[in-house]
Each structure stands twice: as C-alpha cells, then as structure tokens.
Amino acid sequence: MEQVDGKFMMSEITLEPTIIITDEKDRERAERVLQKSEAACLISNSVKSKITMIPVINVK
C-alpha cells in the first residue's frame, strides 16, 4: 500500500497461484489455464493497480 493524494491505495498486487498436476505431460495445459485465467480475471481487470502473477506448478 502507498499513500497517494492523502489516501492509501493498493499500488501493486502479487498473485501466487499453485497448480498441482499428477503427470508432467499436463504441465503445458496447466500453463495455458494460468494464462487464460489471468486474462479473464474480473478482479484483475477491474483494478488500476499493477498486478504480477508468479505461478507455481507442482507435479505430485
């Protein structure tokens, strides 16, 4: 948060989604899902703040 014109505002948001897949062959699909979800996110598209996404894909 930072103060702008005497008011506090969120200036940057960091999203850290984690996707768990059971097979390495699904990694590319998981990456596509992350890209689509970032582009279609109603909240992310509605705020003026800088939004950074740092995804993690785990294979278990």
Structural domain harbouring 55:
2-59
Angle at 38 between CA 33 and CA 41, to 5 degrees: 115
Q: In a structure prediction context, what are the per-residue pLDDT tens digits for the chain, which is 60 residues long?
A: 888 889 898 888 899 999 999 999 999 999 999 999 989 988 888 888 899 999 999 999
* Local structure of 18: helix, strand or coil: strand
Annotate 4-17 with three-state secondary structure: ECCEEECCEEEECC
How does strand 7-9 pair with strand 2-4? antiparallel
H/E element, 19: strand 18-21
| pTM recorded for the entire structure | 0.70
Say how many domains are in the chain: 1
